[in-house]
Structure 1
Amino acid sequence: MRQFGHLEAKVMDRLWSADRPLTVREVHALLPTDRQRAYTTVMTVMDKLFRKGVLERELDGKAYRYRPVASRAEHTATAMEELLSTSGTPRSTLLHFVGQLSAEEAQELREALDAVAVDPVDRSTGEGRS
């Protein structure tokens, strides 16, 4: 899984933040206005994300409604797993990562590790299994 391009990331952010599947027109309207983007550009990006398997779509009248296949957390976790598996030295990579955390972030990580030790996470939902 490769990182998203700039516009792909903005599109995915809008879709992850939405409480329902969105049309291309709705996503286009939600994008920042710092740059004028053609509707067709957004449509092309969303179609490519669909073809890559990142988005699902369903026909609603004459327009498709798109939603992410995975949650933001699931996508990020998969990307992190792939980075660790290709790093050559996962332990060293993790140590460098943890060394960059703020005290608050490190505490959150400790709490997450403690929670997983007590109640392993269901990888399909990100929720505890009990």
Structure 2
Amino acid sequence: MKKPTPNPPESNDTSPYESADSKKLHEAAERALDHHFNPIPKKCPGRRPSQMFQISPDMDDESLLAHACESLATASVMASDVAAFVDTPQRHRILGIQQVIMLAELAVNRVLDNVEVQRYPTHS
């Protein structure tokens, strides 16, 4: 009885990486795969973040949280005002954004409630 497929060709048991060309090809393939699937993050030398807007390093946590809460409350009101002037599909998106802002505001308020205020000694 004949087989529908022929026997595979016989090969010698040598490594495919024994020649210098095959090793170079293998290394190049590994570099290409690493480049596309395992990139190494590159640092930009000399790049410094902008210092135009900074928060003073000696600002206390309570003041920062209070400011964040007020900013979120303002953003919530602005989103609500804009939602009043747009049609239904966009209104739903804007109101969804407003809800996310309100939830963040609630979280910041809770942190403010839980924070133990550190009073710094005043110089008299």
TM-score range, shorter chain: under 0.3
Larger Cα-atom Rg: 2
Choose between structure 1 and 2: higher strand proportion.
1
